[in-house]
Amino acid sequence: MSRLFGACLVAIALFWVSPAPADDPEVPEKYMSVEQVNALIQEKKPVTFIDVRPKDQFDELHIRGAKHIPLTELPRRLASVSKKDFLVLY
């Protein structure tokens, strides 16, 4: 659980300091706290974690079961991700 907490903190920090791309796709986006993500997990909601960091950072530490799709590849590979689950990018 502490690894999940740490990874979620990293996710929040990454999104907090990074500006959104100029040509955002039209999808609902929501910035979530660690507590909100943890609540989804506790409620057994279907959640897919997508780690958008570079591979070396992913290899060093990531949420167990997270998919690795680097941010630069995300637009092209997002179609391969389940649309049924709640997506958490970090």
Give the whole-angstrom CA distance, residue 74 versus residue 50: 10
- As a residue count, the chain comes to 90
Q: For 61-75, what is each residue's pLDDT tens digit?
A: 999 999 999 999 988
Residue whose C-alpha is closest to residue 52's, from 87, 82, 25, 3: 87
pTM above 0.75?
no
Q: For 11-46, what is each residue's pLDDT tens digit?
A: 555 555 445 555 655 656 778 899 999 998 999 999
Q: Provide the CATH number for the domain formed by 2-19+30-89 in this structure.
A: 3.40.250
Question: Residue with structure tokens 């974690």?
Answer: 49
Give the whole-angstrom CA distance, residue 16 versus residue 8: 12
Domain boundaries, the chain: 2-19+30-89
Give the whole-angstrom CA distance, residue 74 versus residue 19: 16
- Using an 8 Å Cβ cutoff, are 8 and 36 in contact? no
